[in-house]
Chain A
Amino acid sequence: MGNLSDLIFQFIGNTGYYMLDYRYLTMLIVGVVFIYLGIAKRYEPLLLVPIGFGILMGNIPVFKGLGLGIYEDNSVLHYLYMGVTSGVYPPLIFLGIGAMTDFSTMLARPLLMLLGAAAQMGIFLTFLGALALGFAPNEAGAIGIIGGADGPTAIFLTAKLAPYLIGPIAVAAYSYMALVPVIQPPIMRLLTSRKERLIRMEEPREVSKKEKIIFPVIGFLLCCLLAPAALPLLGMLFFGNLLKECVVTERLALAARTSVIDTVTILLGVTVGASTQADVFLTSQSVGIFVLGALSFSIATASGLLFAKLINLFLSTKINPLLGAAGVSAVPDSARVVQHVGHEEDPTNFLLMHAMAPNVSGVIGSAIGAGVLWSFIAT
């Protein structure tokens, strides 16, 4: 009888209900909020739903030694998480992004690429901010990349520079990407006048198929010869795009933009979510990362907008400065936000197509930025 009661007490002691404390409870609520935002509000559901559920999976309190937690060497989640810590998943996601992206508008109006470059100021200014707040250079680099608004890039760089920060940085990066429609519009309205928001863009020229096929090869060579550390990300991005554009590899392009990217997104989302285990995640450092991440994102948006206004001083045919906000590489959300804000002022003004140019150049820019930070800080 005594043995039976011991067994029952042992079982009760090992249940999640018994081990649950306020930290796990907080994280479980965060997970539920993510799932709610993804499903009910449709904020980046493909990311927030897997991450949200991953947060739930990672925050079921388990006793150590059974190989259940993501940070235990012999757990299944740990093996899946190795794709994140080793930097395997982000390039595979870039392959899919490349196979989905149409660079036509960027090829038609190359000037708009500069807006994508300007928005990367957020990365480097936040890097300085993080250093000033006392973060080590490797941590500051990983925090700064949140301003690139590119989840895979943020995860890739953090895996290389500060793997122990992947959880908070990935969650911050994806949260801010999902919250693009909330964060960007006030900054856009604050930094532009109504007159500027009403500017109409010229119709872009038609881009030939040959240009589209040659671009990924030229783009890859130019960028990776300049910043070789960006090779894993940009190599896969341009390769994916070549698969899409060259027509003869349509089957591979289809696989890259559907099954490959979908599988990796599921694994990445769930494991990143699960890495937010309360005892590791809920620290003052994580709060600092979230604050700096928001700052980084805002600076990136503002830099793009202000740079657009600056180049307007030299242009006879002005560009709509709202396009600068699309320089952050949250594809295609920030381009959609530009369209939405422009559309509010003038329902007949269609900016989406034009905003895709700085948007996709932002992806290239943030990958170069990540490569630069990696090469400078890791050496």
Chain B
Amino acid sequence: MTGIEAISAHNGWSIAIVGISIVFTGLVLLSLTISQLYKVLDMWEKRGAYWERFKQRGQEAAETPPERECIYLPRDVKESARQCKLLVEHLGQPFSLPKLLEFSDRCGLNHPHSTINELLLAGVIIPDGEGFYLWNDNVEFTS
């Protein structure tokens, strides 16, 4: 028997297809494994550093900052508040209200008295109990 008939009779097509597939599978599997091997080894060698980083993340998660308070401010006051915050950063904390008023006036802030009053009432500017004031960083403005 010869030709295609002989190949079919001896199951040649199946042997050839499965055979080459197994060779490819073996080498692809090996190739994929060794392509990741150095990464796994690298991780193993730096396991101390990874563990430290993992622990640090755990601690950071435990020390999550308090939830930020959301405060409603009219749009024009919100813009003034943003400018005020920049002035406070310039003055440094704690700051005195007259100094903030003076700076706000000098910088051309709109209605500095009423804006600062609004911020005091909203709890954005809070007294430190020693005659000075602090900017409350745990608030967010919405309008």
Contact status A218-B31, CB under 8 Å: no
Contacts A127-B12, A134-B6, A373-B15; A117 near B23 (Cβ below 8 A): yes
Within 8 A of B (CB), among A102-160: 106-107, 110-111, 113-114, 116-117, 120-121, 123-125, 127-128, 131-134, 136-137, 140
Tell me if A37 counts as interface (CB < 8 A to partner B).
no
Tell me if B92 counts as interface (CB < 8 A to partner A).
no
- Taking each of A116, A124, A131, A223, which has the highest tally of chain B beta carbons within 10 Å of its own beta carbon? A131
Contacts A124-B19, A133-B2; A365 near B26 (Cβ below 8 A): yes
Tell me if B121 counts as interface (CB < 8 A to partner A).
no
Partner of A114, one of B15, B19, B31: B31
Binary contact readout B67-103 vs A (1 if CB under 8 angstroms, 0 otherwise): 0000000000000000000000000000000000000
Contact status A134-B2, CB under 8 Å: yes
Main secondary structure of the interface of A (DSSP, over half): helix
Cβ-closest chain A residue relative to B22? A372
Contact status A124-B20, CB under 8 Å: yes
Contact status A364-B22, CB under 8 Å: no
- In the assembly, what is the distance between CA of A131 and CA of B11, in Å? 10
Contact status B16-A215, CB under 8 Å: no
CB distance from B126 to the nearest CB of A (A): 57
- In the assembly, what is the distance between CA of A247 and CA of B30, in Å? 23
Chain B residues, Cβ within 8 Å of A123? 19
Tell me if B4 counts as interface (CB < 8 A to partner A).
yes
Tell me if A361 counts as interface (CB < 8 A to partner B).
yes
Contacts A110-B31, A110-B32, A210-B41; A132 near B23 (Cβ below 8 A): no
Tell me if A8 counts as interface (CB < 8 A to partner B).
no
- In the assembly, what is the distance between CA of A132 and CA of B6, in Å? 6
Chain A residues, Cβ within 8 Å of B35? 110-111
Interface residues on B, range: 20 to 34
Tell me if B107 counts as interface (CB < 8 A to partner A).
no
Contact status B30-A211, CB under 8 Å: no
- In the assembly, what is the distance between CA of A365 and CA of B15, in Å? 16
Tell me if B38 counts as interface (CB < 8 A to partner A).
yes
Tell me if A310 counts as interface (CB < 8 A to partner B).
no
Binary contact readout A196-237 vs B (1 if CB under 8 angstroms, 0 otherwise): 000000000101101100110011001100110000000000
Contact status A113-B29, CB under 8 Å: no
Chain B residues, Cβ within 8 Å of A140? 10, 12
Chain A residues, Cβ within 8 Å of B34? 106-107, 110, 211, 215, 218-219
Tell me if B24 counts as interface (CB < 8 A to partner A).
yes
Chain A residues, Cβ within 8 Å of B32? 110
CB distance from A199 to the nearest CB of B (A): 21
CB distance from A204 to the nearest CB of B (A): 12
Chain A residues, Cβ within 8 Å of B12? 127-128, 131, 137, 140
- In the assembly, what is the distance between CA of A121 and CA of B7, in Å? 16
Contact status A211-B38, CB under 8 Å: yes
Chain B residues, Cβ within 8 Å of A137? 10-12, 15
Tell me if B27 counts as interface (CB < 8 A to partner A).
yes
Chain A residues, Cβ within 8 Å of B30? 110, 113, 218-219, 222-223, 361, 364
Partner of A120, one of B1, B10, B23: B23
- Taking each of B7, B22, B27, B41, which has the highest tally of chain A beta carbons within 10 Å of its own beta carbon? B27
Tell me if A287 counts as interface (CB < 8 A to partner B).
no
CB distance from B14 to the nearest CB of A (A): 9
Contacts A127-B15, A128-B16, A132-B3; A111 near B22 (Cβ below 8 A): no
CB distance from A235 to the nearest CB of B (A): 14
Tell me if A170 counts as interface (CB < 8 A to partner B).
no
- In the assembly, what is the distance between CA of A364 and CA of B22, in Å? 12
Contact status A376-B15, CB under 8 Å: yes
CB distance from A308 to the nearest CB of B (A): 14
- Point out residues on A near B: beta carbons under 8 Å: 106-107, 110-111, 113-114, 116-117, 120-121, 123-125, 127-128, 131-134, 136-137, 140, 205, 207-208, 210-211, 214-215, 218-219, 222-223, 226-227, 361, 364-365, 368-369, 372-373, 376-377
- Point out residues on B near A: beta carbons under 8 Å: 1-4, 6-7, 10-13, 15-16, 18-20, 22-35, 37-38, 41
Additional pairs, 12, CB under 8 Å, beyond known A127-B19, A223-B30: A107-B38, A110-B31, A120-B23, A121-B20, A128-B13, A132-B6, A136-B10, A205-B38, A211-B41, A369-B19, A372-B18, A377-B15
CB-CB nearest 7 A-B residue pairs: A110-B31, A117-B27, A124-B16, A113-B31, A110-B35, A134-B2, A131-B12
